[in-house]
Amino acid sequence: MFRKILIANRGEIACRVIRTAHRMGAATVAVYSEADANAMHVAMADEAVLLGPPPVQESYLLMDKIIAAAQRTGADAIHPGYGFLSENAAFAEACAAAGIVFIGPPADAIRAMGEKAAAKALMQQADVPVVPGYHGDDQDDDVLSGAADEIGYPVLIKAVSGGGGKGMRQVNDPGKFASALKGARREGLSSFGDDKVLVEKYLERPRHIEIQVFADQQGNVVHLFERDCSVQRRHQKVLEEAPAPGMTPQMRRAMGDAAVAAAKAIGYVGAGTVEFIADVSHGLSEDAFFFMEMNTRLQVEHPVTEMITGQDLVEWQLRVAAGEPLPLSQDELVIDGHAVEARVYSENPQKKFLPATGTLHRLRPPMEGPHLRVDTGVREGDEVSMYYDPMIAKLIVWDRDRPSALRRLHDALERYEIAGVITNVNFLAAVAAHPAFAAGDLETGFIDKHKDDLIPAPGPIPDQALALACLDMLLARQGHAAPADPYSPWSLVDGWRLNDRGHDELCFVGDDGDEITVTVHYPTTGGYLLSLPGGEMPANGEIDDGGTLWADLDGLRVSAAAVHDGDKVTILSGGRAHRIERLDKMALRDFDLEEGGKVTAPLPGKVVQVQVEAGASVKKGDPLLILEAMKMEHTIAAPRDAVIANIPFGPGEQVEEGAELVMFEVEVEDS
């Protein structure tokens, strides 16, 4: 076994690998960027080496620096995690050349599966069913669009080197093919350095079902069953589970055999995942699943497999890389119970899941135990920066059966306290509780199909949350006032005023932008009487030393956390988070005089392309420019019909959140 392992990654996966390495008696070395100097993975490792500035090209992707760090610290193996250099054949070779074990498959196997097109061709030869489509070398525009016509719309254009749902465009009619092709090529080139694409049939009711495979250096190959990852947004997984709902033993055997055949065809070693897409227009069927791609690394969602098999897949990786045979044979592997993983992201479901940056002012995961696991790489106070993936944590639950596991998942999500950044926690809880999800009625379009249930439109702040926000302010004010003369009416903080009946007004702005005023009265019997939009509510309570607000709202006792962040307060109570802005009535609001006169950047990023010029007339919804942020392209569209006045940024320029990207001409009213 290895003495010292360097982990060439960051975040939760680096922490995950470090935990197993330590349990197995190996020392660990972390690498980090300047942005991660105080990160959790650095704190957990025995040693850590600085790579460089925050951008991944200047830190986590620097092969030479990482290998030099391994040599300097005497590490005998490198674990690449997922993402970054995990599927980079040149890196695997560079490790070998430096006499360091790469904990992953042989470089040739990475290369064989590295391109989706070549991988499909290879799988066809191995008699593994593939999605019908064109995966040839000829990249001529007409050849590709001709192939699309032949395949029949809708089609999917995929960057052959793509991953993580990037570089993909669904095209529903031929008129949109050319621009979609451009987009897929551009994203492929900028994210993966390769603009080659393939075109395949877009299945209408697909389910994403993948098989975990493992191979050792002795030539043994097993599979560790399937995972269903159909709940996706932007072709990217958000909830994964094992086993797959409705899976039959026959279908499992057929898929398992196909996955093992795929691994054998390329002389695979280590952990890998063979991703299939199943056409479920007529239910799950053994002759309607197709190879999509193989990920030659540990997968983000590997914990669900660990939970149902009782195995530690990182331990398996280390043993296999050290030359040991697979710990178990196919017959010894069994499925026990059901596991579900929910990926907790810093993102806004109401804004098409736009990633969000910010500080995790409060981060309290539910308590871990045999039924519940939290894999994370951040702690309270940490930053979700624009440089890396916005995943905060993976919440994994296990129980004897699926309904029990889903109940646990819902309960755990309700207990998850996060404030400071917008998250998808409420959204995940809505999925966990959705009847169609409970029924196992899955498809990759699940979120879109049920979006009205899962993503309620921003509405007014509920009275209870408002009452908690008021109480928090009132109690804090009470606590902070230190009267010199306790009997003076001036030092009372109960709103007593000369010539006044004694009330205060507290003003807030909700998510929907509406202003709300709550009148506070001070009954002689103590506590407060709040005039809320829905009526009057007596309220009282206290804030304990731990910062928890214990409230009595007209006889209903609830606890809450109020997390402050500038003018905003996040009220966490009853499994929901409400972000409420406090308006100081004395301060003038910074009204935007030219409301609608410009478009600002929704998040920090880089301008990739400007699609309009000054002077041009645009219609509402027209694309104005493309911004690349957090590894994704975002099309910025016109919010209304307008004439462009100015576009201050050009391609390649970095912009801050809120930067004015496009200015419109001031409209002159006809008189």
CA–chain centroid gap for 135, Å, is 30
- Between 180 and 537, CB nearer to ligand ADP: 180
Residues touching ligand ADP: how many (CB under 6 A)? 32
Q: Mind giving me the DSSP string for 357-418?
A: -EE-SEEEPPPPBTTEEEEES--TT-EE-TTS--EEEEEEEEESSHHHHHHHHHHHHHH-EE
Does 207 participate in binding ligand ADP (rule CB under 6 A)? Answer: no
Residue with tokens 């019997």: 525
CB under 8 Å to 452, separation ≥6 — which residues?
Answer: none
Cα distance between residue 394 and residue 604, in whole Å: 25
- Between 302 and 434, CB nearer to Mg ion: 302
Report the SS3 class of residue 626: strand
Instruction: Give the x/- contact pattern for ligand ADP in 521-540, rule: CB under 6 A.
Output: --------------------
Per the annotation, the verdict on 234 as an active-site residue is no
- Do residues 522 and 515 make contact, with C-beta atoms less than 8 angstroms apart? no
CB under 8 Å to 252, separation ≥6 — which residues?
Answer: 225, 226, 243
Rg (the chain; Cα; Å): 28
- Between 36 and 228, CB nearer to Mg ion: 228
Does 31 participate in binding ligand ADP (rule CB under 6 A)? Answer: no
Which of 297, 362, 408, 579 is flagged as catalytic? 297
Q: Measuring CA to CA, which residue among 404, 405, 458 is closest to residue 427?
A: 458
Q: Mind giving me the DSSP string for 130-194?
A: B-SEE--S---HHHHHHHHHHH-SSEEEEETT--TT-SEEEE-SGGGHHHHHHHHHHHHHHHHS-
- Do residues 44 and 59 make contact, with C-beta atoms less than 8 angstroms apart? no
Q: Which tokens belong to 206?
A: 């697909």
Q: Which does 164 bind (CB under 5 to 8 A by kind): Mg ion, ligand ADP, none?
A: ligand ADP
CA–chain centroid gap for 638, Å, is 27
Instruction: Give the x/- contact pattern for ligand ADP in 415-454, rule: CB under 6 A.
Output: -----------------------------x----------
Among 32, 84, 427, 528, binds ligand ADP (CB under 6 A): 84
Order of strands, sheet of 642-646, starting from the edge strand that comes earlier in the sequence:
598-600, 660-664, 642-646, 617-618
- Between 102 and 508, CB nearer to ligand ADP: 102
Q: Which does 202 bind (CB under 5 to 8 A by kind): Mg ion, ligand ADP, none?
A: ligand ADP
Q: Measuring CA to CA, which residue among 245, 157, 196 is closest to residue 437?
A: 245
Q: How far is the CB of 313 from Mg ion (least distance, A)?
A: 18
Closest residue to ligand ADP, judged by C-beta, is: 83
- Between 275 and 504, CB nearer to Mg ion: 275
Report the SS3 class of residue 224: strand
Does 208 participate in binding ligand ADP (rule CB under 6 A)? Answer: yes
Q: Which does 243 bind (CB under 5 to 8 A by kind): ligand ADP, Mg ion, none?
A: none
- Between 11 and 541, CB nearer to ligand ADP: 11
Binding segment (CB under 6 A) for ligand ADP, from list 199-207, 264-272, 413-421, 426-434:
199-207
Q: How far is the CB of 230 from ligand ADP (least distance, A)?
A: 7
User: One-letter amino acid identity for 385?
Assistant: S
Order of strands, sheet of 605-610, starting from the edge strand that comes earlier in the sequence:
632-637, 623-629, 605-610, 654-655
Does 110 participate in binding ligand ADP (rule CB under 6 A)? Answer: no
Cα distance between residue 420 and residue 381, in whole Å: 9
Beta bridge partners of 270: 215
Q: How far is the CB of 275 from Mg ion (least distance, A)?
A: 5
Q: Which does 541 bind (CB under 5 to 8 A by kind): ligand ADP, Mg ion, none?
A: none
Instruction: Give the x/- contact pattern for ligand ADP in 271-310, rule: CB under 6 A.
Output: ----x-x--------------xx-x---xxx---------
Distances in Å between the Cα of 438 and the Cα atoms of 67, 403, 404, 441, 478 are 47, 7, 10, 8, 47
Q: Which does 192 bind (CB under 5 to 8 A by kind): ligand ADP, Mg ion, none?
A: none
Instruction: Give the x/- contact pattern for Mg ion in 246-285, rule: CB under 5 A.
Output: -----------------------------x----------
User: One-letter amino acid identity for 245?
Assistant: P
Q: How far is the CB of 277 from ligand ADP (least distance, A)?
A: 5
Cα distance between residue 12 and residue 529, in whole Å: 46
Binding segment (CB under 6 A) for ligand ADP, from list 196-204, 309-317, 345-353, 571-579:
196-204
Q: Which does 11 bind (CB under 5 to 8 A by kind): Mg ion, ligand ADP, none?
A: ligand ADP
Binding segment (CB under 6 A) for ligand ADP, from list 78-86, 354-362, 419-427, 495-503:
78-86
Q: How far is the CB of 89 from ligand ADP (least distance, A)?
A: 14
Contact positions with ligand ADP (CB under 6 A) in 114-133: 131
Q: Which does 206 bind (CB under 5 to 8 A by kind): ligand ADP, Mg ion, none?
A: ligand ADP
What are the residue numbers of the active site? 297
State the residues that interact with ligand ADP by CB under 6 A: 11, 82-84, 131, 156, 158, 162-165, 200-203, 206, 208, 232, 235-237, 275, 277, 292-293, 295, 299-301, 388-389, 444
